[in-house]
Amino acid sequence: MDGVQTSSSWLTAARWLLQVLIPVVLVLTSVRLMLTRGFIRLEYSLPGFPVDRYGFTRADRLEQAPIALDYLLNDAGIGFLGDLRFEDGTPVYNQRELGHMVDVKMVVRGALRIWRIGGLLAIGLGLLIWRVAGVPALGVALEGGGKLTLWLMLAIFLGLALAFSVVFVGFHQVFFESGTWTFAFSDTLIRLFPERFWQVAFATVTLGSGAMAGALWALARRILRG
């Protein structure tokens, strides 16, 4: 009897852990898809994307923004960005911007590490639940994770729609030291990635995660219907 209860407890814990991991993995999957040159090109191609009043053309942005992205994803030091110069010899990024990019790289690398580990753990838990309790139990866990993700994304989307600045500031206060992530409008980071860029990026992550969660929920419902 104790063995049965222990098995049931482990199964319940595995199901709940999988449900919690699903929104984490789906959100970080959306983030990883956003960290691509294709997404940058898409953003700059959207109607109404603000022009740079300090002189960057779309071609200039398409040249410089992917370099910043490459830095976040590669193993290079900050000299990768710090050595960049405009045609007149002035640095592309000032020291304040370079310091922030170091912080951003740490956050990105940490997030991608969680994505990989979380994804592998979610797959492992799914296989465990399937092998021990069968397909219906896996369907229940997937349905719960999909629903949890949808509710979270709905809450975040409403927050973005009603008070994007509050969400944006709150995000930076969680991940970065106060005073290290504000810049002049003339700084390169703002010229490449104005507020509109982040509005679209946050919305893309939220809607993309919601779409994947909806598909997962539909799959789970189909599993449960047999």
Q: Give CA angle at 217 (34, 14), nearest 5°.
A: 95
Domains identified in the chain, total number: 1
**Taken in order 200, 203, 205, 209, is the CA torsion positive or negative?**
negative
| C-beta neighbour count of 22 within 10 angstroms | 26
Domain that holds residue 84: 2-225
Question: Are 116 and 183 contacting, i.e. CB atoms less than 8 angstroms apart?
Answer: no
Burial 125-145 (b: 16+ CB within 10 A, else e): bbebbeeebeeebbbbbbbbb
Show pLDDT as tens, one digit a residue, over the chain (226 residues): 444 455 678 888 999 999 999 999 999 999 999 999 999 999 999 999 999 999 999 999 999 999 999 999 999 999 999 999 999 999 999 999 999 999 999 999 999 999 999 999 999 999 999 999 999 999 999 999 999 999 999 999 999 999 999 999 999 999 999 989 999 999 999 999 999 999 999 999 999 999 999 999 999 999 888 6
Q: Report yes or no: 160 and 206 within 8 Å, Cβ to Cβ.
A: yes
